[in-house]
Amino acid sequence: MQGWSLTVPVLVVGLALSASGQTATPPSGQQVAGRVASLLKQMTVEEKVGQLIQLPGAYVPESAQTEERLRKGLGGSVLWVRGVAALNKLQRIAVGESRLRIPLIFGLDVIHGYRNIFPMPLAMAASWDPPLVERAQAAAAREARAAGIHWTFAPNLDIARDPRWGRLIEGAGEDPFLGAAMARAQVRGFQGAYVGSPGHVLACAKHFAGYGASEGGRDYDSVYLSDTQLYNVYLPPFQAAVDAGVGSFMSAYMDLNDVPATANHFLLRKVLRDAWGFRGFVVSDALGVGNLLNQGYARDRADAALRGFKAGTNMEMASGTYGENLVRLAGEGKISTAELDDAVRPILEAKIRLGLFENPYTDETAVETVLETPEHRQLTRVAAQRSAVLLRNEKGLLPLSKTAGRSIAVIGPMAHNADNMLTDWARQGDPKRTVTIYEGVRDKLGAGARVEYAQAIDMQRKYPSMFPGSASKPWTQAQADKAYAEAVALAKRSDLIIMALGELASMSGEGASQSSLEFPGRQQELLETVSAMGKPVVLVLVNGRPLNLVWASMHVPAILEAWHPGSEGGNAIADLLFGDAVPGGKLPVTWPRHAGQIPIYYAHNLTHQPETAPNFTSRYWDESSFPLFPFGYGLSYTTFSYSNLRLKQPQVKLGGKLEVSVDVRNTGKVAGDEVVQLYIHQRAGSASRPVRLLKGFERIALAPGETKTVSFVLGKDELSYWSSATGGWVQEAEAFDLWVGGDSAARLHGEFRVVE
């Protein structure tokens, strides 16, 4: 064990600093390595272990001890502290009072915005617009950084194919290709061009890996994934994040094939570091290391710490087992100096790259100017417009006209409740500055129409949320009956009804899985009652997951999926309903008819008896094998036609590139966006391949009558897969089908061969 040294580290290499103190040009790897080596030489074992500890901040009782630990250099990071003053106070202790003056790195969940809240991440994926997603996360980063946060625990890259899982909302949905595109965009948005870009934060790819495949969609439950599923489906977004330069990873909570992800050597060493060459650091999920005991994996807290550490979890979030045990384990020779240095090194590197040594504090006077910019606000509105998915629009009911003198009812539990426009991960957002659907519609029409609102229904979770304060006081039966009757009466006296239905924010997110996809409460009944009045009804959905829309898709003429759309949600929805914006989002998930079809995803394998076989129509006798809406689906106020599919050559050599192009024309009367999608199918190989796989997409804007040519390139990456037969990546000389169109059921077909 090293003794205490009195030397204060001298920072050998100066860096070019921007006004904020962040690095205006990135230091070279050599410069950073030199500074880290010089620090490591001066650090005691206690101080090294200190860097591996993330202390829980304000919301956890032990926070009283936090300051004392920081003074001794026994903490490298603090999370869950909000407010620049509080953050600066802790930083002053670390930098001003600890022996080596190593700054803290402050982490927080900045998932879809800091003050200005963007649509939930699944909705952002529904935009199929990576440049927009990058701009949004850059705005979130700017706000977070101005508020003293250096590190966000995002993006969430968990592929999820079970809509019962509450954390579906945090990722990009079911598809690895779309997921990888969203991963790259988010990493670039959060981090900027390099770790330490001014006004940006360190990103954290989470939850590594497989979390979205928990059994039954129950949060935290075990995950069993074959190598085929891992490599082809669940890992690609994480690898894309590494390729985009993500600075940190968070391990997941659950068991992966019986080994908790927090202590999973295969994931954290073999895949992440050895195969992908990740050089950043891994933080556990909150209390994840300590919880190895609960999982029936570790014998005691020392065993948990040792196993988490050895597997490659550099920093422990909040459970304290590293602090309790690692110094002693190092003294007993169970952890070598080299192992300890390897664990600390990337954490110090990140702090250097982020410019924290030079400028550890945040300007308390500048925060509000960054948080309230009209540009960020406008960006949240555009993001909500571009994320919405139009699921049905019979006889062109939408867009609605703004004709004066109409009476419009906005009815339902999602109509005028700001909390539900946000999510449980938007805690820095301000519900008071969040626009509801009722407000958005009312403000859009001004004096031109009578817009009235009725909540109609009160919804509650059966079991309370793990997040305190998210439940409202339930209505009494009398209150509920009265509100329901008032809503029905309002519908009766109105010309047009906007039904705003869905789910409470607390019904999605962590610890918020559900067993059913039915509308909670009396919403379905209300929808049927109002629809029976024979008036025009528009259903706007504010929710986190696909719900059972079988009845609605036959009886409600217009359905707009708005998700939890963020601070400007109400304005964006009004823009869409009244034609000031045109829906162009597409589903990032397959939409089941009901929970009995789960799991259902477009990229399934063929069976020996496909649906097209004679006398065979469905693999259920009581239900279709097909979903209600396919992956990639979404309508517009205009229509598009696809033609002239061209493959530059009919065959491509192994490792070569194939160019594909198609003409897309706006055949309607208004300008609109189309997401052009390309799917492939490998007809034979060492393993069966999914019936279709997304391998290219582009969102384009087309004026009425305009045609654009969209081109895609299929190369080795797109044409390879992990084969369970060979136990590795393969590209095979085989025949392929190819489809291009506006969703995963696209019909425009081509074919090509990969040849030796």
How far is Cα 708 from Cα 728, in angstroms, rounded to an integer? Answer: 39
Of 284, 189, 179, 187, nearest in space to 233 by CA:
179
Nearer to ligand BGC, 261 or 539 (CB): 261
Which residue in 175, 255, 285, 424 is the catalytic one?
285
Beta-sheet pairing, 658-666 with 640-647: antiparallel
How far is Cα 541 from Cα 367, in angstroms, rounded to an integer? Answer: 34
Report yes or no: 661 and 710 within 8 Å, Cβ to Cβ.
yes
Nearer to ligand BGC, 439 or 510 (CB): 510
Nearer to ligand BGC, 510 or 674 (CB): 510
Report the residue number whose CB is nearest to ligand BGC.
153
Written in H, E and C, the secondary structure of 695-748 is: EEEEEEEECCCCEEEEEEEECHHHHEEEECCCCEEEECCCEEEEEEECCCCCCE
Nearer to ligand BGC, 109 or 134 (CB): 109
List Cβ neighbours of 121 (8 Å cut-off, separation of 6 or more).
111, 112, 154, 155, 156, 169, 170, 171, 172, 182
Cβ of residue 157: shortest distance to ligand BGC, in angstroms?
11
Helices within 60-209 (DSSP H only)? 63-71, 84-97, 121-126, 130-146, 176-191
Nearer to ligand BGC, 503 or 510 (CB): 510
Nearer to ligand BGC, 208 or 697 (CB): 208
How far is Cα 575 from Cα 100, in angstroms, rounded to an integer? Answer: 55
Cβ of residue 108: shortest distance to ligand BGC, in angstroms?
8
* Residues binding ligand BGC (CB under 6 A): 109, 153, 206, 285-286, 510
Q: Count other Cβ atoms within 10 Å, centred on residue 137.
A: 32
Residue for token pair 């059994």 = 215
Nearer to ligand BGC, 108 or 559 (CB): 108
Cβ of residue 694: shortest distance to ligand BGC, in angstroms?
26
Nearer to ligand BGC, 15 or 140 (CB): 140
Of 695, 689, 439, 409, nearest in space to 568 by CA:
439
Nearer to ligand BGC, 201 or 498 (CB): 201
Cβ of residue 204: shortest distance to ligand BGC, in angstroms?
8
Cβ of residue 152: shortest distance to ligand BGC, in angstroms?
9
Cβ of residue 603: shortest distance to ligand BGC, in angstroms?
26
How far is Cα 548 from Cα 551, in angstroms, rounded to an integer? Answer: 8
Report yes or no: 112 and 119 within 8 Å, Cβ to Cβ.
yes
How far is Cα 647 from Cα 743, in angstroms, rounded to an integer? Answer: 20
Report yes or no: 603 and 691 within 8 Å, Cβ to Cβ.
yes
Cβ of residue 153: shortest distance to ligand BGC, in angstroms?
3
Q: Count other Cβ atoms within 10 Å, centred on residue 630.
A: 17
List Cβ neighbours of 750 (8 Å cut-off, separation of 6 or more).
645, 647, 660, 737, 738, 739, 740
Nearer to ligand BGC, 234 or 642 (CB): 234
Cβ of residue 285: shortest distance to ligand BGC, in angstroms?
5
Q: How far is CA 145 from CA 109, 151, 152, 285, 726, in A?
A: 12, 8, 10, 22, 46
List Cβ neighbours of 480 (8 Å cut-off, separation of 6 or more).
457, 458
**Hey, what are 589's tokens?**
């998930």
Cβ of residue 467: shortest distance to ligand BGC, in angstroms?
10
Report yes or no: 558 and 538 within 8 Å, Cβ to Cβ.
yes
Report yes or no: 743 and 585 within 8 Å, Cβ to Cβ.
no
| Widest pairwise Cα distance in the chain | 84
Cβ of residue 109: shortest distance to ligand BGC, in angstroms?
5
Q: How far is CA 264 from CA 10, 111, 166, in A?
A: 37, 25, 24
Active site residue 717: no
Of 677, 723, 529, nearest in space to 177 by CA:
677
Report yes or no: 490 and 410 within 8 Å, Cβ to Cβ.
no
Cβ of residue 171: shortest distance to ligand BGC, in angstroms?
11
Nearer to ligand BGC, 252 or 379 (CB): 252
Cβ of residue 18: shortest distance to ligand BGC, in angstroms?
28
Report yes or no: 744 and 694 within 8 Å, Cβ to Cβ.
yes
**Hey, what are 209's tokens?**
């890996």
How far is Cα 681 from Cα 709, in angstroms, rounded to an integer? Answer: 23
How far is Cα 91 from Cα 406, in angstroms, rounded to an integer? Answer: 58
Question: CA torsion angle for 286, 291, 292, 293 (degrees, to 10)?
Answer: 160
Check the CA dihedral 257-262-268-269 and report its sign: negative
How far is Cα 389 from Cα 673, in angstroms, rounded to an integer? Answer: 12
Cβ of residue 574: shortest distance to ligand BGC, in angstroms?
33
Burial 395-424, CB ≥16 within 10 A → b, else e: eeebbbebeeebebbbbbbbbbbbbbbbbb
Tell me the residue type at 2: Q
Could you say which DSSP state residue 335 is in?
S
Catalytic residues: 285
